[in-house]
Chains A and B, each alone.
Chain A
Amino acid sequence: MTEPDLVSLRDVTVAYDRHPAIHHVSCGFARGSLTAIIGPNGAGKSTLVKTIAGLLKPAEGAMRLHGVSPKDIAYLPQLAGIDDSFPISVQDVVLLGLWRRTGAFGRITLDMRVEASKALSTVGLDGFEGRAFGSVSAGQRQRVLFARVLVADSPLILLDEPFSAVDSRTTADLIRLIDRWHREGRTVLAVLHDHDQVRRHFPQSLLMAREVVAGGPTEEVLTPANLLRARAMSEAWDGDAEVCRGAA
Protein backbone atom coordinates (compact mmCIF):
# COMPACT_ATOMS: atom_id res chain seq x y z
CA MET A 1 0.00 0.00 0.00
CA THR A 2 1.46 3.36 -1.00
CA GLU A 3 1.93 6.07 1.59
CA PRO A 4 -0.52 8.96 1.18
CA ASP A 5 0.87 12.33 0.14
CA LEU A 6 1.83 14.59 3.03
CA VAL A 7 -0.25 17.35 1.44
CA SER A 8 -3.11 16.69 -0.92
CA LEU A 9 -5.54 19.06 -2.60
CA ARG A 10 -8.73 17.82 -4.17
CA ASP A 11 -10.61 20.08 -6.59
CA VAL A 12 -9.58 23.20 -4.65
CA THR A 13 -10.74 26.64 -5.75
CA VAL A 14 -9.67 29.79 -3.90
CA ALA A 15 -11.20 33.06 -5.04
CA TYR A 16 -10.66 36.76 -4.40
CA ASP A 17 -13.86 38.74 -4.89
CA ARG A 18 -15.40 35.60 -6.52
CA HIS A 19 -12.63 35.52 -9.20
CA PRO A 20 -10.65 32.29 -8.75
CA ALA A 21 -6.93 32.69 -8.10
CA ILE A 22 -6.62 28.91 -8.24
CA HIS A 23 -9.35 26.95 -9.99
CA HIS A 24 -10.26 23.28 -9.40
CA VAL A 25 -6.71 22.34 -8.45
CA SER A 26 -6.00 18.71 -7.53
CA CYS A 27 -2.45 17.72 -6.67
CA GLY A 28 -0.34 16.06 -3.99
CA PHE A 29 3.09 16.48 -2.44
CA ALA A 30 4.83 13.31 -1.25
CA ARG A 31 6.56 13.14 2.13
CA GLY A 32 10.21 14.17 1.76
CA SER A 33 9.72 15.69 -1.69
CA LEU A 34 11.37 18.90 -2.90
CA THR A 35 9.00 20.73 -5.24
CA ALA A 36 9.20 24.03 -7.08
CA ILE A 37 5.89 25.77 -7.74
CA ILE A 38 6.27 27.77 -10.91
CA GLY A 39 4.17 29.74 -13.34
CA PRO A 40 3.65 33.23 -14.72
CA ASN A 41 2.66 36.20 -12.53
CA GLY A 42 -0.94 35.80 -11.38
CA ALA A 43 -0.80 32.03 -11.82
CA GLY A 44 -1.90 31.43 -8.22
CA LYS A 45 1.43 30.12 -6.87
CA SER A 46 1.40 32.17 -3.65
CA THR A 47 -2.32 31.52 -3.25
CA LEU A 48 -1.64 27.78 -3.38
CA VAL A 49 1.09 28.05 -0.73
CA LYS A 50 -1.09 30.24 1.49
CA THR A 51 -3.92 27.72 1.17
CA ILE A 52 -1.62 24.90 2.31
CA ALA A 53 -0.41 27.13 5.17
CA GLY A 54 -4.03 27.54 6.24
CA LEU A 55 -4.07 31.28 5.54
CA LEU A 56 -6.77 31.04 2.86
CA LYS A 57 -9.87 28.89 2.94
CA PRO A 58 -10.94 27.11 -0.26
CA ALA A 59 -14.26 28.27 -1.70
CA GLU A 60 -14.61 24.72 -3.05
CA GLY A 61 -12.75 21.44 -2.60
CA ALA A 62 -10.55 20.36 0.29
CA MET A 63 -6.91 20.48 1.36
CA ARG A 64 -5.69 17.63 3.58
CA LEU A 65 -2.54 17.14 5.63
CA HIS A 66 -1.53 13.54 6.44
CA GLY A 67 0.65 12.90 9.47
CA VAL A 68 1.32 16.56 10.21
CA SER A 69 -0.76 19.20 11.92
CA PRO A 70 -1.11 22.80 10.68
CA LYS A 71 1.21 23.82 13.53
CA ASP A 72 3.97 21.65 12.03
CA ILE A 73 4.22 23.90 8.98
CA ALA A 74 7.08 26.40 8.71
CA TYR A 75 5.96 29.18 6.41
CA LEU A 76 8.29 31.77 4.95
CA PRO A 77 6.16 34.65 3.60
CA GLN A 78 7.28 37.10 0.95
CA LEU A 79 9.59 39.79 2.32
CA ALA A 80 7.15 42.42 1.10
CA GLY A 81 4.56 41.26 3.64
CA ILE A 82 6.84 41.94 6.60
CA ASP A 83 7.00 45.33 8.32
CA ASP A 84 10.77 45.98 8.21
CA SER A 85 10.35 49.30 10.02
CA PHE A 86 9.17 47.47 13.14
CA PRO A 87 11.82 47.78 15.89
CA ILE A 88 12.68 44.14 16.47
CA SER A 89 16.13 42.55 16.76
CA VAL A 90 17.41 39.86 14.41
CA GLN A 91 17.57 37.40 17.32
CA ASP A 92 13.95 38.06 18.31
CA VAL A 93 12.84 37.40 14.73
CA VAL A 94 14.63 34.03 14.76
CA LEU A 95 13.15 33.20 18.17
CA LEU A 96 9.67 33.58 16.67
CA GLY A 97 10.50 30.33 14.88
CA LEU A 98 10.26 28.60 18.27
CA TRP A 99 6.61 29.63 18.65
CA ARG A 100 5.45 26.00 18.46
CA ARG A 101 7.49 25.29 21.59
CA THR A 102 7.06 28.56 23.48
CA GLY A 103 3.63 29.73 22.37
CA ALA A 104 2.77 33.30 23.26
CA PHE A 105 3.58 32.93 26.95
CA GLY A 106 6.42 30.38 27.27
CA ARG A 107 9.80 31.43 28.59
CA ILE A 108 12.68 32.00 26.19
CA THR A 109 15.54 30.04 27.75
CA LEU A 110 19.28 30.53 27.36
CA ASP A 111 19.42 27.30 25.32
CA MET A 112 16.87 28.74 22.91
CA ARG A 113 18.97 31.87 22.46
CA VAL A 114 22.01 29.68 21.76
CA GLU A 115 19.91 27.73 19.24
CA ALA A 116 18.92 30.99 17.52
CA SER A 117 22.58 32.09 17.40
CA LYS A 118 23.58 28.75 15.84
CA ALA A 119 20.86 29.13 13.21
CA LEU A 120 22.12 32.62 12.40
CA SER A 121 25.63 31.22 12.11
CA THR A 122 24.37 28.53 9.72
CA VAL A 123 22.91 31.17 7.40
CA GLY A 124 26.12 33.21 7.55
CA LEU A 125 25.01 35.88 10.00
CA ASP A 126 27.41 35.40 12.91
CA GLY A 127 27.16 38.21 15.44
CA PHE A 128 23.98 39.72 13.97
CA GLU A 129 21.83 38.87 17.01
CA GLY A 130 21.52 42.41 18.35
CA ARG A 131 21.11 44.17 15.01
CA ALA A 132 17.73 45.68 14.19
CA PHE A 133 15.94 43.62 11.51
CA GLY A 134 15.19 46.77 9.52
CA SER A 135 18.84 47.83 9.49
CA VAL A 136 20.17 44.83 7.54
CA SER A 137 20.08 44.37 3.75
CA ALA A 138 17.28 42.56 1.89
CA GLY A 139 19.51 39.51 1.37
CA GLN A 140 20.41 39.41 5.06
CA ARG A 141 16.74 39.74 6.01
CA GLN A 142 15.98 36.70 3.86
CA ARG A 143 18.79 34.81 5.61
CA VAL A 144 17.25 35.79 8.98
CA LEU A 145 13.89 34.40 7.87
CA PHE A 146 15.60 31.17 6.77
CA ALA A 147 17.19 30.97 10.24
CA ARG A 148 13.68 31.31 11.68
CA VAL A 149 12.54 28.35 9.54
CA LEU A 150 15.65 26.44 10.63
CA VAL A 151 14.87 26.69 14.37
CA ALA A 152 11.23 25.79 13.73
CA ASP A 153 12.46 22.26 12.89
CA SER A 154 9.31 21.53 10.85
CA PRO A 155 8.59 18.51 8.67
CA LEU A 156 6.78 20.68 6.08
CA ILE A 157 8.41 23.88 4.84
CA LEU A 158 6.65 26.40 2.57
CA LEU A 159 8.79 29.10 0.94
CA ASP A 160 7.01 31.92 -0.92
CA GLU A 161 9.42 33.51 -3.40
CA PRO A 162 12.46 33.03 -1.15
CA PHE A 163 14.97 34.44 -3.64
CA SER A 164 13.29 37.65 -4.77
CA ALA A 165 15.52 40.71 -4.16
CA VAL A 166 18.40 38.46 -3.13
CA ASP A 167 21.89 38.39 -4.73
CA SER A 168 23.36 35.29 -6.36
CA ARG A 169 25.69 34.40 -3.49
CA THR A 170 22.86 34.55 -0.94
CA THR A 171 20.69 32.49 -3.29
CA ALA A 172 23.43 29.83 -3.57
CA ASP A 173 23.83 29.69 0.23
CA LEU A 174 20.09 29.39 0.80
CA ILE A 175 19.72 26.69 -1.85
CA ARG A 176 22.36 24.66 0.01
CA LEU A 177 20.18 24.97 3.11
CA ILE A 178 17.11 23.81 1.15
CA ASP A 179 19.14 20.82 -0.11
CA ARG A 180 20.02 20.00 3.49
CA TRP A 181 16.35 20.09 4.51
CA HIS A 182 15.57 17.76 1.60
CA ARG A 183 18.32 15.31 2.66
CA GLU A 184 16.91 15.37 6.20
CA GLY A 185 13.62 14.07 4.80
CA ARG A 186 11.61 17.25 5.19
CA THR A 187 8.99 18.17 2.59
CA VAL A 188 9.81 21.48 0.93
CA LEU A 189 7.61 23.52 -1.42
CA ALA A 190 9.07 26.71 -2.90
CA VAL A 191 7.46 29.31 -5.15
CA LEU A 192 10.10 30.23 -7.74
CA HIS A 193 10.52 32.10 -11.01
CA ASP A 194 13.99 31.09 -12.26
CA HIS A 195 13.51 28.02 -14.50
CA ASP A 196 17.26 27.26 -14.70
CA GLN A 197 17.47 27.25 -10.92
CA VAL A 198 14.48 24.92 -10.75
CA ARG A 199 16.01 22.52 -13.32
CA ARG A 200 19.29 22.40 -11.36
CA HIS A 201 18.02 22.02 -7.81
CA PHE A 202 14.38 20.89 -7.68
CA PRO A 203 13.58 17.29 -8.67
CA GLN A 204 9.78 17.90 -8.69
CA SER A 205 7.80 20.81 -10.13
CA LEU A 206 4.22 21.98 -10.32
CA LEU A 207 3.45 24.37 -13.17
CA MET A 208 0.47 26.58 -12.40
CA ALA A 209 -1.71 28.91 -14.44
CA ARG A 210 -4.61 29.24 -11.98
CA GLU A 211 -5.09 25.56 -12.82
CA VAL A 212 -2.47 22.84 -12.80
CA VAL A 213 -0.75 22.80 -16.20
CA ALA A 214 1.63 19.97 -15.32
CA GLY A 215 3.12 18.31 -12.26
CA GLY A 216 5.83 15.71 -11.70
CA PRO A 217 9.55 15.35 -12.44
CA THR A 218 10.93 18.76 -13.38
CA GLU A 219 12.31 17.72 -16.79
CA GLU A 220 8.83 16.52 -17.79
CA VAL A 221 7.10 19.62 -16.49
CA LEU A 222 9.35 22.39 -17.77
CA THR A 223 8.85 21.74 -21.48
CA PRO A 224 8.40 24.59 -24.00
CA ALA A 225 4.89 23.35 -24.79
CA ASN A 226 3.83 23.39 -21.11
CA LEU A 227 5.37 26.81 -20.51
CA LEU A 228 3.60 28.25 -23.57
CA ARG A 229 0.31 26.74 -22.43
CA ALA A 230 0.79 28.15 -18.92
CA ARG A 231 1.41 31.63 -20.30
CA ALA A 232 -1.68 31.49 -22.53
CA MET A 233 -3.89 30.22 -19.69
CA SER A 234 -2.61 32.82 -17.25
CA GLU A 235 -3.19 35.73 -19.63
CA ALA A 236 -6.77 34.64 -20.32
CA TRP A 237 -8.79 36.85 -17.97
CA ASP A 238 -12.51 37.28 -18.36
CA GLY A 239 -13.88 40.16 -16.31
CA ASP A 240 -17.45 39.14 -17.21
CA ALA A 241 -17.01 35.44 -16.51
CA GLU A 242 -20.16 33.43 -15.79
CA VAL A 243 -20.66 31.42 -12.62
CA CYS A 244 -18.56 28.22 -12.68
CA ARG A 245 -20.68 25.04 -12.65
CA GLY A 246 -17.93 22.49 -11.95
CA ALA A 247 -14.44 21.21 -12.67
CA ALA A 248 -12.74 22.49 -15.81
Chain B
Amino acid sequence: MKKLTVFFLALTVCASLLVGCASSPTSSPSPTATVSSPSPTASSPSPTASSPSPTASPEAKMKVAFLYDTTVGDFGWYYGHEKARKLTQAALDFVETSYLENVTPGAQAERVMTELCNSGYSVIVAATSGYEADSLKVAEKFPNVKFINICGVTVTSNVETCYPLTTQIWYMLGQIAGKITKTNVIGMVGAVVFPVDLQIQNAWLLGAQSVNPAVTERIIYINTYYDPAAERDAALALIDAGADVIAQATNDPAHVQAAEEKGVYAMSQFEDMRQFGPNAYVSGDVFFWEKYYIPTLQAIHDGSWKARSFWPDIFSGVAGTAEFGPMVTDEMKALVAASKEKMKTDPEFFWKGPIKDVNGTVRVEAGKQLTQEQLLSMDWWVQGVVTSMKSNP
Protein backbone atom coordinates (compact mmCIF):
# COMPACT_ATOMS: atom_id res chain seq x y z
CA MET B 1 0.00 0.00 0.00
CA LYS B 2 2.71 2.40 1.01
CA LYS B 3 4.82 1.68 -2.02
CA LEU B 4 1.77 2.29 -4.13
CA THR B 5 1.25 5.73 -2.63
CA VAL B 6 4.89 6.57 -3.14
CA PHE B 7 4.59 5.49 -6.72
CA PHE B 8 1.50 7.57 -7.40
CA LEU B 9 3.08 10.45 -5.61
CA ALA B 10 6.13 10.17 -7.83
CA LEU B 11 3.92 9.89 -10.86
CA THR B 12 1.88 12.97 -10.07
CA VAL B 13 4.93 14.99 -9.22
CA CYS B 14 6.55 13.91 -12.47
CA ALA B 15 3.38 14.66 -14.38
CA SER B 16 3.09 18.10 -12.87
CA LEU B 17 6.73 18.68 -13.68
CA LEU B 18 6.17 17.68 -17.27
CA VAL B 19 3.01 19.70 -17.76
CA GLY B 20 4.75 22.59 -16.08
CA CYS B 21 7.59 22.31 -18.57
CA ALA B 22 5.44 21.64 -21.59
CA SER B 23 3.06 24.48 -21.06
CA SER B 24 5.73 27.20 -21.21
CA PRO B 25 5.45 30.32 -19.09
CA THR B 26 2.88 31.94 -21.37
CA SER B 27 -0.12 29.83 -20.41
CA SER B 28 -1.26 30.40 -16.89
CA PRO B 29 -4.22 28.04 -16.35
CA SER B 30 -2.45 24.73 -16.78
CA PRO B 31 0.41 25.31 -14.30
CA THR B 32 -2.07 26.24 -11.59
CA ALA B 33 -4.08 23.16 -12.47
CA THR B 34 -1.03 21.01 -11.98
CA VAL B 35 0.06 22.64 -8.76
CA SER B 36 -2.96 21.37 -6.96
CA SER B 37 -2.31 17.82 -8.11
CA PRO B 38 0.74 17.00 -6.00
CA SER B 39 -0.61 18.31 -2.75
CA PRO B 40 -3.97 16.51 -2.56
CA THR B 41 -2.13 13.28 -3.22
CA ALA B 42 0.41 14.32 -0.64
CA SER B 43 -2.17 15.03 2.01
CA SER B 44 -4.64 12.28 1.26
CA PRO B 45 -2.70 9.04 0.75
CA SER B 46 0.12 9.76 3.16
CA PRO B 47 -1.95 9.48 6.33
CA THR B 48 -2.68 5.90 5.33
CA ALA B 49 1.03 5.43 4.90
CA SER B 50 2.08 6.86 8.21
CA SER B 51 -0.78 6.82 10.71
CA PRO B 52 -2.74 3.59 10.96
CA SER B 53 -6.15 5.01 11.83
CA PRO B 54 -6.76 8.48 10.44
CA THR B 55 -10.40 8.44 11.54
CA ALA B 56 -9.72 7.40 15.12
CA SER B 57 -8.79 10.78 16.55
CA PRO B 58 -11.19 13.56 15.67
CA GLU B 59 -9.04 16.39 17.05
CA ALA B 60 -6.82 17.97 14.44
CA LYS B 61 -3.31 16.64 14.28
CA MET B 62 -0.32 18.84 13.58
CA LYS B 63 0.35 18.29 9.90
CA VAL B 64 4.02 18.25 8.95
CA ALA B 65 5.28 18.02 5.37
CA PHE B 66 8.81 17.01 4.38
CA LEU B 67 10.02 18.22 0.99
CA TYR B 68 12.79 16.33 -0.81
CA ASP B 69 14.24 17.47 -4.10
CA THR B 70 15.36 14.02 -5.29
CA THR B 71 14.59 10.60 -3.93
CA VAL B 72 14.52 8.80 -0.59
CA GLY B 73 16.21 5.96 -2.45
CA ASP B 74 19.68 7.52 -2.42
CA PHE B 75 20.97 5.54 0.59
CA GLY B 76 22.37 8.79 1.88
CA TRP B 77 20.96 12.24 2.49
CA TYR B 78 17.20 11.78 1.91
CA TYR B 79 17.26 8.16 3.01
CA GLY B 80 18.37 9.48 6.38
CA HIS B 81 15.69 12.18 6.51
CA GLU B 82 13.01 9.68 5.57
CA LYS B 83 14.19 7.26 8.27
CA ALA B 84 13.98 10.12 10.76
CA ARG B 85 10.54 11.14 9.51
CA LYS B 86 9.22 7.65 10.22
CA LEU B 87 10.80 7.57 13.68
CA THR B 88 9.37 11.01 14.40
CA GLN B 89 5.93 9.88 13.29
CA ALA B 90 6.18 6.84 15.55
CA ALA B 91 7.35 8.88 18.53
CA LEU B 92 4.85 11.74 18.42
CA ASP B 93 1.18 10.81 18.29
CA PHE B 94 0.00 14.37 17.71
CA VAL B 95 1.73 14.80 14.36
CA GLU B 96 0.75 13.61 10.95
CA THR B 97 3.71 13.60 8.62
CA SER B 98 3.90 13.21 4.87
CA TYR B 99 6.65 13.66 2.37
CA LEU B 100 7.03 14.77 -1.23
CA GLU B 101 9.87 13.59 -3.42
CA ASN B 102 11.28 15.19 -6.55
CA VAL B 103 10.10 18.70 -5.75
CA THR B 104 12.43 20.93 -7.74
CA PRO B 105 13.68 24.02 -5.89
CA GLY B 106 12.40 27.23 -7.41
CA ALA B 107 8.96 27.93 -8.83
CA GLN B 108 7.72 24.37 -8.30
CA ALA B 109 8.79 24.24 -4.67
CA GLU B 110 7.20 27.62 -4.03
CA ARG B 111 3.90 26.46 -5.51
CA VAL B 112 3.95 23.19 -3.58
CA MET B 113 4.74 24.97 -0.30
CA THR B 114 1.97 27.52 -0.87
CA GLU B 115 -0.46 24.73 -1.60
CA LEU B 116 0.62 22.85 1.54
CA CYS B 117 0.12 25.99 3.65
CA ASN B 118 -3.32 26.45 2.16
CA SER B 119 -4.30 22.88 2.91
CA GLY B 120 -3.67 23.03 6.62
CA TYR B 121 -0.04 22.08 7.09
CA SER B 122 1.48 23.82 10.07
CA VAL B 123 5.11 22.78 9.72
CA ILE B 124 7.14 22.45 6.52
CA VAL B 125 10.54 20.84 6.57
CA ALA B 126 12.53 21.92 3.52
CA ALA B 127 15.24 19.30 3.52
CA THR B 128 17.80 20.88 1.24
CA SER B 129 19.56 24.22 1.05
CA GLY B 130 18.13 24.69 -2.44
CA TYR B 131 14.69 25.41 -0.98
CA GLU B 132 15.77 28.30 1.21
CA ALA B 133 14.78 31.16 -1.09
CA ASP B 134 11.40 29.55 -1.76
CA SER B 135 10.53 28.83 1.84
CA LEU B 136 11.55 32.34 2.94
CA LYS B 137 9.16 33.76 0.36
CA VAL B 138 6.28 31.48 1.34
CA ALA B 139 7.01 31.88 5.06
CA GLU B 140 6.47 35.60 4.74
CA LYS B 141 2.97 35.04 3.34
CA PHE B 142 2.02 32.45 5.96
CA PRO B 143 3.34 33.72 9.30
CA ASN B 144 1.51 30.98 11.22
CA VAL B 145 3.21 28.16 9.38
CA LYS B 146 6.59 27.13 10.76
CA PHE B 147 9.41 26.38 8.36
CA ILE B 148 12.51 24.34 9.02
CA ASN B 149 15.25 24.97 6.48
CA ILE B 150 17.83 22.24 6.66
CA CYS B 151 21.20 23.74 5.84
CA GLY B 152 19.66 27.21 5.61
CA VAL B 153 21.27 30.52 6.52
CA THR B 154 18.50 33.06 7.24
CA VAL B 155 16.37 32.89 10.38
CA THR B 156 13.08 34.79 10.66
CA SER B 157 10.24 34.63 13.20
CA ASN B 158 8.83 31.46 11.59
CA VAL B 159 11.86 30.07 9.80
CA GLU B 160 14.40 27.95 11.66
CA THR B 161 17.63 26.62 10.18
CA CYS B 162 19.53 23.53 11.24
CA TYR B 163 22.63 21.65 10.27
CA PRO B 164 24.70 19.47 12.58
CA LEU B 165 28.17 20.79 13.24
CA THR B 166 29.79 18.06 11.19
CA THR B 167 32.93 20.11 10.67
CA GLN B 168 33.95 18.72 14.08
CA ILE B 169 33.60 15.19 12.76
CA TRP B 170 35.36 16.00 9.52
CA TYR B 171 38.29 17.57 11.34
CA MET B 172 38.73 14.29 13.21
CA LEU B 173 38.22 12.21 10.08
CA GLY B 174 40.84 14.42 8.46
CA GLN B 175 43.30 13.45 11.18
CA ILE B 176 42.69 9.80 10.34
CA ALA B 177 42.99 10.55 6.61
CA GLY B 178 46.27 12.39 7.17
CA LYS B 179 47.72 9.38 8.95
CA ILE B 180 46.30 6.71 6.69
CA THR B 181 47.20 8.23 3.30
CA LYS B 182 50.30 6.90 1.59
CA THR B 183 50.26 9.33 -1.34
CA ASN B 184 49.58 12.43 0.80
CA VAL B 185 46.63 13.20 -1.48
CA ILE B 186 43.05 12.98 -0.30
CA GLY B 187 40.13 13.36 -2.71
CA MET B 188 36.67 14.85 -2.37
CA VAL B 189 33.76 14.30 -4.75
CA GLY B 190 32.16 17.71 -4.31
CA ALA B 191 28.64 18.65 -5.28
CA VAL B 192 28.30 22.42 -5.61
CA VAL B 193 30.28 25.28 -4.12
CA PHE B 194 28.22 25.95 -1.04
CA PRO B 195 29.40 27.37 2.32
CA VAL B 196 28.45 24.35 4.47
CA ASP B 197 30.15 21.98 2.03
CA LEU B 198 33.23 24.20 1.89
CA GLN B 199 33.43 24.22 5.68
CA ILE B 200 33.48 20.42 5.69
CA GLN B 201 36.02 20.23 2.86
CA ASN B 202 38.27 22.74 4.60
CA ALA B 203 37.89 21.15 8.03
CA TRP B 204 38.80 17.78 6.56
CA LEU B 205 42.04 19.10 5.11
CA LEU B 206 42.89 21.12 8.23
CA GLY B 207 42.51 17.91 10.23
CA ALA B 208 44.77 16.02 7.84
CA GLN B 209 47.37 18.79 7.82
CA SER B 210 47.34 18.91 11.61
CA VAL B 211 48.96 15.47 11.65
CA ASN B 212 50.68 15.51 8.26
CA PRO B 213 51.46 18.96 6.78
CA ALA B 214 52.26 17.49 3.36
CA VAL B 215 48.67 16.47 2.64
CA THR B 216 46.78 18.11 -0.23
CA GLU B 217 43.11 17.70 -1.06
CA ARG B 218 41.82 17.44 -4.60
CA ILE B 219 38.16 18.33 -5.15
CA ILE B 220 36.00 17.65 -8.19
CA TYR B 221 32.66 19.44 -8.22
CA ILE B 222 30.03 17.56 -10.21
CA ASN B 223 27.52 20.44 -9.87
CA THR B 224 24.73 18.29 -8.51
CA TYR B 225 24.04 16.44 -5.30
CA TYR B 226 22.72 13.38 -7.06
CA ASP B 227 24.23 11.62 -10.07
CA PRO B 228 25.73 8.29 -8.96
CA ALA B 229 27.52 7.60 -12.24
CA ALA B 230 29.12 11.05 -12.30
CA GLU B 231 30.14 10.64 -8.67
CA ARG B 232 31.79 7.37 -9.50
CA ASP B 233 33.61 8.89 -12.47
CA ALA B 234 34.78 11.78 -10.35
CA ALA B 235 36.04 9.34 -7.71
CA LEU B 236 37.93 7.32 -10.34
CA ALA B 237 39.49 10.49 -11.73
CA LEU B 238 40.58 11.50 -8.22
CA ILE B 239 42.10 8.08 -7.62
CA ASP B 240 43.91 8.25 -10.94
CA ALA B 241 45.24 11.66 -9.89
CA GLY B 242 46.80 10.05 -6.82
CA ALA B 243 44.16 10.38 -4.10
CA ASP B 244 43.95 7.36 -1.81
CA VAL B 245 41.27 8.51 0.64
CA ILE B 246 37.98 9.48 -1.04
CA ALA B 247 35.04 11.28 0.56
CA GLN B 248 31.91 12.90 -0.88
CA ALA B 249 29.58 15.84 -0.52
CA THR B 250 26.95 14.22 -2.73
CA ASN B 251 23.95 12.24 -1.49
CA ASP B 252 24.85 8.59 -2.07
CA PRO B 253 27.55 5.86 -1.83
CA ALA B 254 28.88 5.72 -5.42
CA HIS B 255 32.37 6.87 -4.36
CA VAL B 256 32.67 4.07 -1.79
CA GLN B 257 32.18 1.48 -4.53
CA ALA B 258 34.80 3.16 -6.71
CA ALA B 259 37.27 3.21 -3.81
CA GLU B 260 36.61 -0.45 -3.03
CA GLU B 261 37.20 -1.39 -6.66
CA LYS B 262 40.50 0.49 -6.85
CA GLY B 263 41.74 -0.62 -3.44
CA VAL B 264 41.86 2.79 -1.76
CA TYR B 265 40.12 4.15 1.34
CA ALA B 266 36.72 5.84 1.55
CA MET B 267 34.90 8.04 4.03
CA SER B 268 31.28 9.07 3.73
CA GLN B 269 28.71 11.60 4.81
CA PHE B 270 25.15 11.08 6.08
CA GLU B 271 24.96 7.28 6.40
CA ASP B 272 27.20 4.37 7.29
CA MET B 273 28.10 3.14 3.79
CA ARG B 274 30.30 0.25 4.90
CA GLN B 275 28.35 -2.38 2.95
CA PHE B 276 29.28 -0.72 -0.36
CA GLY B 277 33.00 -1.15 0.28
CA PRO B 278 33.84 -3.29 3.32
CA ASN B 279 37.59 -3.09 2.71
CA ALA B 280 37.64 0.59 1.74
CA TYR B 281 35.37 2.04 4.39
CA VAL B 282 37.26 3.94 7.08
CA SER B 283 34.51 5.95 8.74
CA GLY B 284 32.20 8.88 8.16
CA ASP B 285 29.54 11.01 9.71
CA VAL B 286 26.11 9.54 10.40
CA PHE B 287 22.95 11.55 11.00
CA PHE B 288 20.13 10.97 13.43
CA TRP B 289 17.76 13.71 12.30
CA GLU B 290 14.96 12.39 14.53
CA LYS B 291 16.92 13.66 17.52
CA TYR B 292 16.37 17.12 16.09
CA TYR B 293 12.90 16.68 14.61
CA ILE B 294 11.24 15.13 17.68
CA PRO B 295 12.14 17.83 20.24
CA THR B 296 11.58 20.60 17.69
CA LEU B 297 8.10 19.40 16.72
CA GLN B 298 7.33 18.82 20.39
CA ALA B 299 8.32 22.41 21.13
CA ILE B 300 6.18 23.70 18.26
CA HIS B 301 3.25 21.68 19.61
CA ASP B 302 3.76 22.95 23.15
CA GLY B 303 4.09 26.51 21.97
CA SER B 304 7.58 26.93 23.41
CA TRP B 305 9.29 26.99 20.03
CA LYS B 306 11.35 29.95 18.95
CA ALA B 307 13.07 30.05 15.56
CA ARG B 308 16.84 29.75 15.81
CA SER B 309 19.94 29.01 13.81
CA PHE B 310 20.73 25.60 15.22
CA TRP B 311 24.07 23.84 14.85
CA PRO B 312 23.90 20.76 17.08
CA ASP B 313 27.43 19.60 17.93
CA ILE B 314 28.81 16.07 18.21
CA PHE B 315 27.64 15.78 21.80
CA SER B 316 24.01 16.46 20.82
CA GLY B 317 23.50 13.08 19.17
CA VAL B 318 22.08 14.55 15.95
CA ALA B 319 25.23 13.57 14.10
CA GLY B 320 28.05 11.29 15.07
CA THR B 321 31.02 9.37 13.78
CA ALA B 322 30.45 6.02 12.09
CA GLU B 323 32.19 3.01 13.56
CA PHE B 324 35.86 2.84 12.50
CA GLY B 325 37.04 0.28 9.98
CA PRO B 326 39.81 -2.20 10.89
CA MET B 327 42.49 0.00 9.26
CA VAL B 328 42.12 2.68 11.94
CA THR B 329 44.99 2.15 14.37
CA ASP B 330 45.04 2.86 18.09
CA GLU B 331 47.29 5.83 17.40
CA MET B 332 44.66 7.37 15.14
CA LYS B 333 41.93 6.60 17.65
CA ALA B 334 43.94 8.39 20.32
CA LEU B 335 44.31 11.47 18.07
CA VAL B 336 40.57 11.57 17.50
CA ALA B 337 39.81 11.07 21.18
CA ALA B 338 42.14 13.97 22.07
CA SER B 339 40.43 16.27 19.56
CA LYS B 340 37.03 15.28 20.84
CA GLU B 341 38.09 16.05 24.39
CA LYS B 342 39.26 19.47 23.24
CA MET B 343 35.92 20.14 21.51
CA LYS B 344 34.12 19.83 24.84
CA THR B 345 35.53 23.16 25.89
CA ASP B 346 36.45 24.71 22.55
CA PRO B 347 33.97 23.32 20.00
CA GLU B 348 35.47 24.80 16.84
CA PHE B 349 39.12 25.26 17.78
CA PHE B 350 40.22 24.22 14.31
CA TRP B 351 38.99 27.51 12.83
CA LYS B 352 41.67 29.37 14.78
CA GLY B 353 44.34 31.22 12.83
CA PRO B 354 46.68 31.34 11.17
CA ILE B 355 44.79 29.90 8.19
CA LYS B 356 45.84 30.70 4.64
CA ASP B 357 43.62 30.22 1.62
CA VAL B 358 44.44 28.45 -1.60
CA ASN B 359 46.01 31.62 -3.06
CA GLY B 360 48.26 32.12 -0.05
CA THR B 361 46.27 35.02 1.40
CA VAL B 362 45.93 34.95 5.17
CA ARG B 363 42.22 34.49 5.92
CA VAL B 364 42.42 34.08 9.65
CA GLU B 365 45.19 35.80 11.53
CA ALA B 366 46.96 34.10 14.41
CA GLY B 367 44.98 34.38 17.60
CA LYS B 368 41.69 34.97 15.80
CA GLN B 369 38.92 32.52 14.94
CA LEU B 370 36.35 32.46 12.15
CA THR B 371 33.03 33.90 13.22
CA GLN B 372 29.65 32.33 12.58
CA GLU B 373 28.96 34.86 9.80
CA GLN B 374 32.28 34.18 8.15
CA LEU B 375 31.58 30.45 8.23
CA LEU B 376 28.09 30.89 6.78
CA SER B 377 29.48 32.84 3.85
CA MET B 378 32.63 30.76 3.36
CA ASP B 379 33.66 30.89 -0.29
CA TRP B 380 37.35 30.03 -0.15
CA TRP B 381 39.49 26.95 0.18
CA VAL B 382 42.36 26.49 2.63
CA GLN B 383 45.89 26.18 1.35
CA GLY B 384 46.53 22.71 0.01
CA VAL B 385 43.23 22.30 -1.82
CA VAL B 386 43.53 21.62 -5.54
CA THR B 387 40.39 22.56 -7.44
CA SER B 388 39.30 24.17 -10.69
CA MET B 389 37.07 26.55 -8.81
CA LYS B 390 39.22 29.41 -7.62
CA SER B 391 37.26 32.01 -5.81
CA ASN B 392 38.43 35.61 -5.47
CA PRO B 393 41.50 35.12 -7.66
The answer to whether A binds B is no
